[in-house]
């Protein structure tokens, strides 16, 4: 089993990255890869980080990885896999293609989880939509989510029906920008580098 008694962190890295045309987890970011960037933030707050995806694809990164129970079945399967393997009460589960996530956001999600009687804590964007691929899930969600998969549910949002979801409002949608295509990635990198350089 994975994690401490209280917290564990997981990154979903098992997607096919069809629209990106290459493995999103291994896109260059800073001095390393995108998944290493996300992993550093996850580990800092959750105390551990494990990739959910093909171990042979990521072993050179030195990050622990576990295979999806059913590879290619989508992010809901990845979340269920993480919850099946964890020994922690609360589990931070994050998609690998969210470069804007921060330790501050992760800490907020955990603090709300500790303070509320809920099954999962999910960010809510300014437009009112939820981002379930960056959430803190109680290990008790493993049963309901696995049952949803067995019923043929594939969308994470649909699988949350019936669970006690605690939304946390996020003021900056950029913290949870999702990158799926080369154009989106190039645009993000261009803006990110410009922001880092500052006015000039």
Mean pLDDT of 47-72: 90
Q: What is the pLDDT of residue 194?
A: 43
Q: What is the pLDDT of residue 14?
A: 66
Q: What is the pLDDT of residue 28?
A: 81
Q: List the domains of the chain with CATH numbers.
A: 7-195 (3.90.550.10)
**Contact criterion met (CB below 8 Å) for 97 and 108:** no
Lowest mean pLDDT among 133-137, 151-155, 187-191: 187-191
Q: What is the pLDDT of residue 195?
A: 42
> What CA–CA distance (Å, rounded) separates 37 from 11?
11
Q: What sign does the CA torsion over 28, 32, 172, 91 have? A: positive
> What CA–CA distance (Å, rounded) separates 77 from 200?
46
Q: Please tell me whether residue 183 adopts helix, strand or coil conformation.
A: helix
Q: What is the pLDDT of residue 18?
A: 46
Query: To the nearest whole percent, how much of the chain has pLDDT over 90?
Result: 61
Highest averaged pLDDT of the listed ranges 49-53, 66-70, 185-189: 49-53
**Contact criterion met (CB below 8 Å) for 12 and 79:** yes
> What CA–CA distance (Å, rounded) separates 84 from 52?
11
Q: What is the pLDDT of residue 39?
A: 96
Burial class of residue 123 in the structure, from the number of CB atoms within 10 Å of its CB (0-12 exposed, 13-18 middle, 19+ buried) = buried
Lowest mean pLDDT among 23-37, 73-87, 146-160, 172-186: 172-186
Q: What is the pLDDT of residue 46?
A: 97
């Amino acid at each position: 089993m994975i994690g401490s008694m209280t917290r564990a962190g997981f990154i979903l890295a098992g997607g096919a990255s069809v629209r990106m045309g290459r493995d999103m987890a291994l896109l260059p970011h800073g001095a390393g890869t995108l998944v290493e960037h996300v992993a550093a933030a996850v580990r800092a707050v959750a105390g551990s980080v494990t990739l959910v995806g093909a171990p042979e694809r990521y072993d050179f990164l030195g990050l622990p990885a576990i295979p999806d129970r059913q590879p290619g079945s989508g992010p809901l399967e990845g979340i269920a896999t993480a919850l099946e393997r964890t020994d922690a009460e609360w589990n931070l589960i994050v998609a690998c293609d969210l470069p804007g996530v921060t330790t501050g956001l992760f800490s907020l999600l955990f603090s709300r989880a500790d303070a509320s009687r809920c099954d999962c804590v999910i960010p809510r964007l300014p437009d009112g939509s939820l981002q379930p691929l960056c959430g803190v899930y109680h290990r008790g969600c493993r049963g309901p989510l696995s049952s949803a998969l067995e019923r043929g549910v594939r969308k994470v949002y649909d699988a949350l029906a019936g669970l006690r979801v605690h939304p946390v409002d996020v003021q900056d949608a950029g913290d949870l920008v999702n990158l799926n295509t080369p154009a989106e990635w190039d645009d993000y990198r261009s803006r990110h580098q410009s922001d880092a350089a500052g006015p000039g």
